[in-house]
Structure 1
Amino acid sequence: MPRFSVIVPAYRVQAYLHACLDSVLNQSFKDYEIIVVDDCSPDACGPIADEYAVRDPRVGVVHLPVNSGLGPARNAGMARATGDYLLFLDGDDTLTPEALQAVADRLDATGGPDVLVYDYARTYWSGESVRNVFAHHLAETGPPSFRLADRPELLKVLMVVWNKAYRREFVEAEGFTFAPGYYEDTPWTYPVLMAAGSIAVLDRVCVGYRQRRRGNILSTTTHRHFDVFDQYDRVFAFIDARPELASWRPVMFRRMLDHFSTLYTSRGRLPRGTRARFFRMARAHCRRYRTPGAPVPRRARLRHALFRLGAHRTYRALWAAQRLRGRLGRLAATAHRAARGAALQLHYRVQLRLPLRPGDAVFAAYWHRGYTCSPAALEATARALVPGLRTSWICRPEDARTVPDATRVLHPGTAAYWTALARSKFLVNNVNFDRRLVKRRGQILLQTHHGTPLKTMGTDLVHRPAAAGSIDFEQLLRNVDKWDFSLSANQHSTLVWERTYPSGYTTLEYGSPRNDVFHRTGPEETARLRELLGVPAGSTALLYAPTLRDYRRTQHHSLDLEQLVRVLGPHYVVLTRSHYLEATSHGAPGHTAHPRIIDVSAHPSVEELCLASDGLITDYSSLMFDYVNLDRPVVLYLEDAQAYEATRGTYFDPAAFPPGAVARDQEELHEIFTTDHWRGPRSTQRRAAFRARFCPYDDGHASERVVRRVFLNDTSGLPVPTPVTGRGPSGVPRQVPVREYTNG
């Protein structure tokens, strides 16, 4: 008897069925059977299913003689099922990697409930994936299992059959089957949840719910949308047959009206000329099943009242008025934005005519993200060293919490923002400022960049359209012409920046200010950071930080972290961090489905993550150049080297001159760790050579050198860099000259 029976109804999904079945067969958890029900599909669904059945004995196929619809197809699958739990997966949807293992683990942890509800994400043709907006109702808090009455908010999660696992004995004992017709999920999901003696939740996306552009059954125009009335008849018949469920009647009454309202106002579902009949039938159901008691949101009260009264014309007029109001509102919002933008630009032009403020400095990083990178290190040092300096940091409102109290926060696009850009003497950024910035005589603009370049940058991207995307190179060069200083961490960076960003700025080869913290943080602070991130005491923490793939629309990475931590063993933890251009969440670090994989994408400081880790796994990220300052192991995972080189390109082959061990596939990566090669003498030797070449000035005083040169115009009292071989925790200085270049 398998643990799971995965039932897949298939009708006109030949383009998606391979991906659906592969998503199940590629699961690491193998104790399951797949039952594909060919609902007399006119396309190749049947032959595709038969082909899989020949290749894998876990796949069984049921061919229905006539097309019966989703409900009867699922019933046919259940009749063949032998698993402990039933899972349903539509033929155009997919399971996410490791979903079955996560479901099995959660079922074990919660004592084998009647129903387990897990999460899903809507997936689009573009590769975009959007998680269910009601995911917070699946929080794994409170008792491991419960009844629906204990957590009624669970009904807000999409009421479909395929985001749940059902104990087969429970389903058979209750005699649950699917009804024919459209909206067959309705008389299944509500009765199942109301009757379940135990329910559990899994806060994990397990299903990719494909959003098809065309061909979705429920988005077609047909009289079969009237099936919704029969389906709610079945729901109320179930409740009436069980007096103990009477308390759910007002809840179902309200949800029925919400469903009717959604159908009525959805364009393209009800055939022309049928809305009045739909409204009359909805009114009849209101009268038949009306049960006051469930609270109705204020915005829905009028709709419900009009349904009960049968006021079809009034409802339709209000609906039309609401749509018109929405259009007018959008037009008004567009006009308001245009007027506000014009007013702000007028304000900026006025500010440009006023005197500069010699004691003001504006800092920003990563297109207005939080307080981070070299601009943050320079801001803190400038406040400490420059008398009377007033500093401001430009960031989005959600990142304001990361800015020190002593620093003024500016939000992009405000009058204060434009005033600061117009009148501050010093402008510091690791990317370019707004293209509308007018560089005034007397202003000093420092470009810090954000790391040593490995991948091709600037004008070198002209002939690499996959990486360049929509870059306007003429505008890019106009922005570069505003730079007064370009900060460089090493000679390699100097040569790249001056060639790819050609202009008349002065290069300061002073080191990377964002790395100063590595030389000034003690073991007590490091221990605090590890505790904050949730790294267990005594564990070895590996930071996994891949860079962006320009050639991919979706930033999925081939490294299977769950498999990696299983190979590494219980004393290892992986801190996984997405590239800043793909990370969208904010807040505290979060745990993934695996307890030894911690998602730290939301952590505001990558430098703190480096300090908290014992080793780095990366690919083409510039983080490797910073991380070697800690003299901790680095492993490069270059499984897509050929594709990356063809699309983005690199300035040198990282496999030929790496900062540590190099893996080209997951098996090789596992071997590097199991043999301890990742921190062996060969890796140490490579890291030392890499550090000597790329970190000659990263001694903990790069920020001070930059601030003294740019803000204080001091060219003689700069701290002399400490040689790499002579650096301790605080970087003991020795006499090594500091280079300064003028590009002109």
Structure 2
Amino acid sequence: MAETPGHIPNGHADPSPGAPVSLSVVVPVHLAQGYLRQCLDSILVPDVPDLEVIAVDDASPDHSGRILDEYAERDPRVRVLHMQRSVGPGEARDIGLDAAAGDYVWFVDSDGCLPPDALGAILERLSEDQPDVLLFDHAREYWHGKVKRSADHALFRDPEPAVFACAERPDVLRVTPAPWNRAFRRRFLLDLGVRFGGGDFEEVGVAYPALLAAERISLLDQVCFIRRERRRGAAARAAGAGRFDVFDQYDKVFAFLDARGAAGEPLRPPMFDAMIRHLQTVLERGGLVNHEDGPRFFERMAQTYARYRPAGHELPRDERLAKKYAAIEKNDFKGYQRQLAGTSGPAKPAKAAASMFRKRQRAAVNAAKRTGLKQYYKAQLRLPIDENLAVFAAYWYRGYACNPAAIYEKLKELAPNIHGVWVVKQENVKSLPKGVDYVVRGSKDFWRVMARAKYFVNNVNFTDDIVKRPGQVHVMTHHGTPLKSMGLDQMKYPASAKGMDFKLMIRRADRWDFVVSANPLSTEAWERGFPCKYEMLEIGYPRNDRLVRATAEEKAELRRMLGVPEGKKAVLYTPTHREYQRSFKPTFDIRRFARELGDEYVLLLRAHYFYKPGARQWDPERVIDVSAHRSVEDLCIASDALLTDYSSIMFDYAVLPDRPIVLFVPDWETYRLTRGTNFDVTAFPPGAVAFDEEELIKTFRSGRPWQDEEVARARAAFRARFCPWDDGHAAERAVRRVFLGEDVPNPPSPA
């Protein structure tokens, strides 16, 4: 077990009444790379010195350990413990508890987060009340954006008494038995001798004994933790036989009560009711217990009911609940199910794959009917899949480009038996390279290949009228590293999410079998923004293979083709799309910029593809409009420096060694607040940064992008962080994994 230094020194005494307190937050981490930064950022609020975060990397196979080390390096309050083998969340919490030094300890799941002001409110209440256990409320955030406060919230409304024992307010046993909705006095918990250990419901064996034994309990009527309900479910929470662990945990709870003798008897009835409510929740909530295990789980529930029912226990006053109790007592599973049928019932199980396929097939056929090709498409869907046919597309059928083009080229080399066909719009046919086979979107040939092909490669989603047949393979390559928020992350930014149907977006993403990731940041963003069941290909960007292998001869030829005058420095200007702009509006005076830079420079202007290139009155001696040029990779290779703002091209351009990058970000705060970003690019830039036009001109005229050592160090750090897998073999890895079924290094060793 390796670790990094912590912040709070060992040896803190138990707190005195009214004194400030220190807090240790224990975060077990496993397969949480997409959510971990949000979790840590919500905990590590500034100006809280008496805080330590004990992050336990539970041998996570993703990039979580690296992220934790990154945080520990820059914040002394973070301490990382790396497990050599996975021990599970319960034992990871125990390890964190043993390492903690704070007066209080709080266990936080790594895929959740704290609302603003939660940490301050908890510390204030701990200091005021000095409880053994502080309970606070939580909320659940669902993948579609809905945030719902817990069903426990009514229990927090009554503030009296401020501090109490469980016998005085046994209703606190109804609070969800979780590790993240309570803070424990550390010495109290250690002296109690309870441990999380292993199991699916390990929190039960700690949460309840602590409440039953606590002499000082306090309530905080505030949501202090947001639990993220992952669409696919947390890895440790998959339905299965492990759910039966809940019975073992309640055996421990009642054994704890037995050990307390007469002092525990008054708490037996409310503890029994709390247990039965929890067991019903486990049984009834969809996805927790497999359908075939339902009868066996119910039988165990009936046995547990009989074993621990207190003498003289009365049925609940609620008639429906009383009937459910009666069914449990009789071990009458069918009777229990009848009671469920009279309510909203548990979540319905997911439809079988075959049923879902038929549903999508009908929807696709209905869409095809509008083109008059219904019967043809329907017939093609019934024919065998062509195992040697692959469909390629890019940028909504705009032409031959980006990662799909790089994979297509490598496929011809490594698997010539597989025939690749491109889908394009009619107006883009002329842009295709000579010899590339294609079909026009919406044509009869289009419907044939879409129905029959084995493989589909695209850098955006295929349209909704496409049926994904069982056995077909979809590869999503994306088309840039996501500095800006993407997928479900966009729900928090209405300006960028206007008109988006996120449920439809996720249904499209459900078609993906493979997702290409350019770097660790991309992996985190795709996993969080598109929580679907695909394999992440951490292989680098296929389109960047060209940049890795670019030669001086290729650069010279491209410059001649573009008309770049010999001896001039060519600056490629590529501003990104802004949702708050309807047309291309440069954020600085291009004529003035080109004039101020002088004859030494020429500007290669490439507007975002969302904007149609039009006739612009630039000085042709100083500005070359390359907006319509087919290949952005050509432009990168031909240029001497990049000028951009928030465009993902900066991550690709950083692959080119010793090519300066300058960011012009006069509207950074506006962009960050309206679009959302995955990190602060002004704090970790790929080179020089200018915030206004005067600073931008001065940066170039001084030669700083080429001469400043600080700028060079920033570029090197950016390249190391965001281009670790771009070694010129990304397309090869994609072809070998997807088309040839080979194992490839994932991720590869750093380039």
TM-score normalised to structure 1 length? 0.50
SS in 2 for 1:617: strand
Alpha-carbon shift at residue 436 of structure 1 (Å): 1.3
Identity among equivalent pairs (%): 49
Which residue number in structure 1 is paired with residue 633 of structure 2? 607
Segment drifting more, 384-393 vs 576-585 = 576-585
Correspondences of 1:563-582 after superposition (within 5 Å): 563-582=592-611
Structure 1 residue runs of 4+, over 4 Å off? 337-340, 718-722
Query: Which of 412, 420, 428 is the matching residue for 2:441?
Result: 412
Which residue in 2 is equivalent to 1:360?
389
CA distance in 1: counterparts of 2:616 and 2:419, whole angstroms: 36
Give the equivalent residue in structure 2 for 1:668.
Answer: 695
CA distance in 1, matches of 2:721, 2:502: 31
Q: Quick one: distance in 1 between partners of 2:503 and 2:634?
A: 37
**Is 1:701–1:719's contact at 8 Å kept on the other side of the alignment?**
no
Q: Provide the secondary structure at the position in 1 that maps to 2:471.
A: coil
Cα contact 1:393–1:403 (8 A) shared by 2:
no
**Preserved contact between residue 591 and residue 618 of structure 2 (Cα < 8 Å):** no
Q: Superposition pairs for residues 158-173 of structure 1, below 5 Å?
A: none
> CA separation in 2, counterparts of 1:713 and 1:451?
25
Residue of structure 2 equivalent to 1:711? 739
Does residue 696 of structure 1 match 2:724? yes
Residue matched to 2:548: 519
Paired with 1:621 and 1:711, the residues of 2 have a C-alpha distance of 31
Equivalent of residue 517 in structure 2, options 477, 482, 488: 488
Q: 1:626 aligns with which of 652, 659, 664?
A: 652
Q: Is the 8 A contact 1:427 1:446 kept in 2?
A: yes
Q: Classify the secondary structure of the residue corresponding to 1:543.
A: strand
2:591–2:619 Cα contact (<8 Å) kept = no
Q: Is residue 557 of structure 1 aligned with residue 599 of structure 2?
A: no
- Whole-Å Cα distance in 2 between the matches of residues 341 and 402 of structure 1? 28
Matched residue type, 1:551: Y
Query: Equivalents in 2 of 1:408, 1:360: separation in Å?
Result: 12
- Report how far residue 590 of structure 1 moved: 8.9
The one of 663, 673, 676 equivalent to 1:646 is: 673
Deviations 1:24-61 (A, max 9, x none): xxxxxxxxxxxxxxxxxxxxxxxxxxxxxxxxxxxxxx
Q: Which residue matches 2:423?
A: 394
Match of 1:306 in 2: none
Alignment of 1:534-549 (within 5 A): 534-549=563-578
Which residue of the partner structure matches residue 704 of structure 2? Answer: 677
**1:720: Cα distance to partner?**
8.7
- Verify the 8 A CA contact 2:537 2:746 in the aligned structure 1: no
Aligned partner of 2:587: which letter? S
Residue 459 in structure 1 maps to residue 488 in structure 2:
yes
Contact 2:367 2:465 (C-alpha < 8 Å) held by counterparts: no
- Structure 2 CA distance for partners of 1:582 and 1:490, relative to 1, 3 Å: same
704 and 604 in structure 1: CA distance in 2 versus 1, 3 angstrom threshold: same
Distance 1:654 1:720 in 2: 24
Equivalents in 2 of 1:593, 1:674: separation in Å?
Answer: 19
SS in 2 for 1:426: strand
Aligned partner of 1:429 in structure 2 is 458
* Superposition map of 1:201-600 within 5 A: 341-584=370-613, 592-600=618-626
How far has the Cα of 1:339 moved from its partner? 9.5
Q: Deviations over 1:365-389 (max 9, x none)?
A: 0001121100000001011111311
The amino acid of 1:474's aligned partner reads K
CA distances 1:286-322 after superposition (whole Å, capped 9, x unpaired): xxxxxxxxxxxxxxxxxxxxxxxxxxxxxxxxxxxxx
Any conservation in 1 of the 2:690–2:699 contact (CA below 8 Å)? yes
- For 2:635 and 2:398, locate their aligned partners in 1 and report how far apart those are by CA, in whole Å: 17
How far has the Cα of 1:593 moved from its partner?
3.8
Q: CA 1:591/1:423 → structure 2, altered by over 3 Å: closer, same or farther?
A: farther
Whole-Å separation in 1 of the counterparts to 2:368 and 2:407: 36
SS where residue 711 of structure 2 aligns? helix
Which stretch has the larger CA shift, 680-689 or 401-410?
401-410
- 1:490–1:417: structure 2 CA closer, same or farther, 3 Å change rule? same
SS of the residue 2:492 aligns to:
coil
RMSD: 2.0
Matched position secondary structure for 2:428: helix
- 1:276 match: none
Instruction: Work out the CA distance in 1 between the residues paired with 2:587 and 2:700.
Output: 18
Whole-Å Cα distance in 2 between the matches of residues 378 and 406 of structure 1?
Answer: 16
Q: Is the 8 A contact 1:402 1:604 kept in 2?
A: yes
Distance in 2 (alpha carbons) for counterparts of 1:721 and 1:524: 29
Cα deviation for residue 676 of structure 1 reads 1.4
Alignment correspondent of 1:161 = none
> How far off is 1:340 after superposition?
7.0
Q: Distance in 1 between matches of 2:680 and 2:648?
A: 13
1:616 partner SS:
strand
Rounded to whole Å, the distance in 1 between the matches of 2:746 and 2:654 is 22
Query: Closer, same or farther in 2 for the Cα pair 1:590/1:400, shift >3 Å?
Result: farther
1:468 deviates by 1.4
Which amino acid is 2:400 matched to? Y
Matched residues in 2 for 1:402 and 1:660: separation?
34
CA distance in 2, matches of 1:662, 1:613: 19
Unaligned runs of 5+ in 1: 1-336, 725-744
What amino acid is aligned across from residue 470 of structure 1 in structure 2? G
- Equivalent residue letter for 1:437: I
**Equivalent residue letter for 2:696:** L
* Partner Cα separation in structure 1 for residue 636 and residue 617 of structure 2: 18
| Letter matched to residue 627 of structure 2 | S
CA distance in 1, matches of 2:697, 2:439: 47
Q: How far did 1:722 drift?
A: 6.0
Contact 1:361 1:425 in 2 (8 A): yes
Residue type of the alignment partner of 1:695: C
Q: Which amino acid aligns with 1:519?
A: V
- Where 1:607 maps in the other structure, the secondary structure is helix
Report the residue type matching 1:635 in the other structure.
V
Q: Secondary structure at the match of 1:630?
A: coil
Instruction: Render the CA deviation track for 1:61-96: whole Å, top value 9, x for unaligned.
Output: xxxxxxxxxxxxxxxxxxxxxxxxxxxxxxxxxxxx
Gapped regions of structure 2 (runs ≥ 5):
1-365
SS at match of 2:372: helix
1:593–1:676 distance in 2 versus 1, CA, 3 Å: closer
The C-alpha deviation readout for 1:470-516, integer Å capped at 9, x for no partner, is: 11111101100000001101111111101100111110100000100
Residue 420 of structure 1 deviates from its aligned partner by 0.9
CA–CA separation in structure 2 for the residues paired with 1:657 and 1:480: 31
Tell me if the contact between 1:368 and 1:394 (Cα under 8 Å) persists in the aligned partners.
Answer: yes
Would the aligned equivalents of 2:509 and 2:532 in 1 still touch at CA under 8 Å?
yes
Deviation at 1:551, TM superposition (A): 1.2
Give the distance between the partners of 1:519 and 1:558, measured in 2 at CA: 31
Partner residue in 2 for 1:319 = none
Whether 1:635 and 2:665 are equivalent positions in the alignment is: no
Q: Tell me the CA shift for residue 469 of structure 1.
A: 2.2
CA deviation profile, 1:327-371 (whole Å, cap 9, x unmatched): xxxxxxxxxx99973422332222111100000000000001121
SS at match of 1:629: coil
- Cα displacement (A) at 1:584: 4.5
> Which secondary structure does the structure 2 equivalent of 1:394 belong to?
strand
Which one-letter code corresponds to 1:599 in the other structure? D
Separation in 2, partners of 1:538, 1:649 = 40
